């Protein structure tokens, strides 16, 4: 099953980083967050990727075109100019980097890849969010319910503490940054049947708007509940939080 990673957005809220690179190439622990996302899938045996490129897509292409050399120990014979690269840990992934347009919306990027998806089920996620998602369980859940689409439902990361305040002003409950009562949001990590592409009108269609709304109305959208770690990288603050987790040696999304 192929995995599509939506990697074409501008990433304007990370402008400090994205002026010269697309957001999926912003680094956590010296590696692009795109690499981290791919490792989550690869840990479950899914190693065939399509990266839907847009803004600064050439940076993504250059990264994977030179991946072996960048990851290797390099030995150069200065007399002859011969170069030997040894990279025993290079992953056995297949990565397609496909231009899907600078201004194309998320749904449009999927239909731009239609001919490469071979009329088979496929997975989709965003190029800026990580989590300790059990991809194997996600795929099994999708296959079990027989609907066209599955979305991973996650708890929104809480930026503030929560309180329950009584009529007289007494604080009945105080929770420091707890997302427990916050409901569910779209965390990406989708599994789609090929018919989902028929719900997308054109390149200007946002996946999160009419397509998912209609799928829900038609009873064709199911939620895989993920109660554990999930975090987007929408802001510089979130980037720094992810970096701190990685440097701690206990990054929750490191499942490989």
Q: Report the CATH number at residue 63.
A: 3.90.550.10
Q: Is the pLDDT of residue 153 over 80?
A: yes
Weakest-pLDDT range from 154-158, 206-210, 211-215 = 154-158
**Mean pLDDT for all residues in the chain:** 90
> According to the model, what pLDDT value does residue 174 have?
54
In a domain, 134, yes or no: yes
> Is the residue at 135 inside a domain?
yes
Question: pLDDT digit string (tens) for 100-149?
Answer: 999 999 999 999 999 999 899 999 999 999 999 999 999 999 999 999 99
| Residue 74 within any structural domain of the chain | yes
Mean pLDDT of 43-56: 97
> Does 253 fall in a domain?
no
Tell me if 254 is assigned to some domain: no
User: Domain range holding 33?
Assistant: 2-247
Number of independent structural domains in the chain: 1
In a domain, 70, yes or no: yes
Residue 20 has pLDDT above 90, yes or no: no
CB atoms within 10 A of CB 173: 11
Answer whether residue 252 is part of any domain.
no
């Amino acid at each position: 099953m192929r995995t599509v990673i939506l990697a074409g957005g501008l990433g304007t809220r990370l402008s400090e980083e994205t002026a010269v690179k697309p957001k999926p190439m912003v680094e956590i622990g010296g590696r692009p967050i795109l690499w981290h996302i791919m490792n989550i899938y690869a840990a479950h045996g899914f190693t065939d990727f399509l990266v839907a490129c847009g803004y600064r897509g050439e940076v993504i292409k250059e990264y994977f075109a030179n991946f072996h050399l960048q990851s290797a120990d390099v030995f150069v014979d200065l007399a002859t100019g011969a170069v030997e690269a040894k990279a025993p840990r290079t992953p056995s992934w297949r990565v397609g980097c496909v231009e899907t347009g600078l201004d194309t919306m998320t749904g449009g990027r999927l239909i731009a890849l239609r001919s490469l998806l071979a009329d088979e089920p496929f997975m989709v996620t965003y190029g800026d969010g990580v989590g300790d998602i059990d991809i194997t369980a996600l795929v099994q859940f999708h296959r079990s319910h027989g609907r066209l689409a599955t979305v991973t439902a996650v708890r929104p990361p809480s930026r503030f503490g929560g309180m329950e305040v009584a009529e007289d002003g007494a604080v009945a409950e105080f929770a420091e940054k707890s997302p427990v009562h916050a409901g569910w949001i779209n965390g990406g990590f989708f599994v789609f049947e090929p018919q989902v592409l028929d719900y997308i009108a054109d390149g200007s269609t946002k996946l999160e708007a009419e397509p998912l709304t209609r799928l829900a109305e038609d009873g064709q959208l199911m939620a895989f509940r993920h109660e554990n770690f999930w975090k987007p990288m929408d802001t510089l603050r979130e980037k720094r939080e992810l970096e701190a987790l990685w440097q701690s040696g206990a990054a929750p999304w490191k499942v490989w």
